[in-house]
Amino acid sequence: MIRDFSKTLFGAAIAVAAFAATAAAEPSKPECLAGAKPGGGFDLTCRLAANALLETKQISQPMAVTYMEGGVGAVAYNHVIGKRGSDGNLITAASSGSALLIAQGKFGQYDENAVRWLGALGADYGVLVVSADSPYKTLGELIEAFKADSTQFPIGGGGAVGSQDWMKGSLLAKAAGQDPKTMRYVALEGGGAVLTALEGGHIKVGSGDAAEMGKHHVAGKVRILAVMAPERLPGELADVPTAREQGYDIDWPVWRGYYVGKDVSDADYDWWVKAFETAAATPEFAKEREARGLFEFTLLGKAFEDRVKEDVARFKILAKEAGM
């Protein structure tokens, strides 16, 4: 009996020590770094984490959101690696656009292995849109017309050549058997400019995101021909078929996620992963995500790390095929 009791005490001591180590890993000064000016996608991503983690009591004090613009996240990426590589208090916002820029070598000397990828807590999805009075009612009809004469279809997107919107347009060109380098692409300043250009007839096709274009589709200002998602999206876009449904293997999830420095301890890394996992399972988090126009896309720890590396590899192939 004494031996059994001592075993129980020993087991309890181990459990207490493990709990204490976990509790000690909670960041003392939680911070999220957004690699752009306030108001953009990185800001949205940081606010999602800050609000959700506090509301679900994963952190005991408010999370600071700081900003470091430059290179669409490149300056922040280099800063974390060079200055805060072991800081367990800091998470930094990222997106699939970050993976695309890394694939194109636009984050400088560092690749996707230079940080530790924590997780994604939501996603938007690419869409292809035409004006409300366009004769094209399906993606197939647009692709057939594009195949016949691509010069008649200027494609507008909220980003420069090589951006996510440009890449979405290049997938349309590839589906039509055309060389993406010959695509007439018009670089515009954001989704609002894409909408204006469509309505004015300056472009024939818009490349954008579901959250941004959805309300205009519902209002009848544009027609979304396809969403680049594995399945139909819920809510107001439930009537819009996916590209896959229409016979085209075109996916473009725009995930919103986070990374920490390469030298952050396993205890700190695991604490953040667990905090995200716990928060993401709550109705409070679902409301926070929906309020930011994001759809469910939760991928944490190693699964997310693997996804980022797969995306970078895929984007390298796409960029090479597109002549980038």
Is residue 11 a part of any domain in this protein?
A: no
Task: Please tell me whether the overall predicted TM-score, pTM, comes out greater than 0.85 for this model.
Answer: no
**Same domain membership, residue 49 and residue 113:** yes
Question: What CATH number does residue 75 fall under?
Answer: 3.40.190.150
Q: Is it the case that residue 13 has pLDDT exceeding 60?
A: no
Is residue 21 a part of any domain in this protein?
A: no
**Same domain membership, residue 188 and residue 137:** yes
> Domains in the chain: how many in total?
2
**Same domain membership, residue 133 and residue 102:** no
**Same domain membership, residue 227 and residue 188:** yes
Is residue 22 a part of any domain in this protein?
A: no
Q: Is 107 helix (H, G, I), strand (E, B) or coil?
A: coil
Is residue 93 a part of any domain in this protein?
A: yes
| Nearest-angstrom CA–CA distance, 299 and 118 | 9
Is residue 9 a part of any domain in this protein?
A: no
Of 181, 210, 237, the position where a domain reaches its end is 237
Is residue 214 a part of any domain in this protein?
A: yes
Q: Which residue has the higher pLDDT, 119 or 72?
A: 119
Residue 168 CB contacts under 8 Å (≥ 6 apart), including other chains: 126, 128, 157, 207, 228, 252
Residue 280 CB contacts under 8 Å (≥ 6 apart), including other chains: 52, 121, 298, 300
Question: What CATH number does residue 158 fall under?
Answer: 3.40.190.10
Q: pLDDT digit string (tens) for 212-244? A: 899 899 999 999 999 999 999 988 899 999 999
What is the structure's pLDDT at 40?
82
What is the structure's pLDDT at 323?
72
- Would you mind telling me the total number of residues written for the chain in this entry? 324
| Nearest-angstrom CA–CA distance, 81 and 60 | 27
Residue appearing with tokens 């008649």: 152
Query: Which sign, positive or negative, has the C-alpha torsion 113, 115, 118, 121?
Result: negative
Residue appearing with tokens 């938007």: 124
**Same domain membership, residue 190 and residue 50:** no
Is residue 192 a part of any domain in this protein?
A: yes
CB 127 within 8 A of CB 246: no
Mean pLDDT of the chain: 90
**Same domain membership, residue 106 and residue 131:** no
Tokens matching residue 103: 């694939």
Which residues, in sequence order, are bridge partners of residue 223? 130
**Same domain membership, residue 185 and residue 161:** yes
Is residue 37 a part of any domain in this protein?
A: yes
Q: Which of the four pLDDT bands, split at 50, 70 and 90, describes residue 14?
A: very low
Q: CA-based Rg of the chain, rounded to a whole angstrom?
A: 22
| Nearest-angstrom CA–CA distance, 159 and 191 | 9
Q: pLDDT digit string (tens) for 264-276? A: 999 999 999 999 9
| Nearest-angstrom CA–CA distance, 172 and 147 | 10
| Nearest-angstrom CA–CA distance, 289 and 308 | 21
Domain extent, residue 50, equals 28-124+253-321
Q: pLDDT digit string (tens) for 132-172? A: 999 999 999 999 999 999 999 999 998 888 889 999 999 99
**Same domain membership, residue 135 and residue 213:** yes
What is the structure's pLDDT at 20?
39
**Same domain membership, residue 228 and residue 133:** yes
CB 73 within 8 A of CB 36: yes
Which residues, in sequence order, are bridge partners of residue 206? 129, 156
| Nearest-angstrom CA–CA distance, 199 and 186 | 15
What is the structure's pLDDT at 15?
44
**Same domain membership, residue 273 and residue 304:** yes
**Same domain membership, residue 226 and residue 160:** yes
How much of the chain, in percent, has pLDDT values that exceed 90? 75
Span 51-62, average pLDDT: 96
**Same domain membership, residue 139 and residue 114:** no
Q: Which of the four pLDDT bands, split at 50, 70 and 90, describes residue 3?
A: very low
Of 175, 208, 237, the position where a domain reaches its end is 237
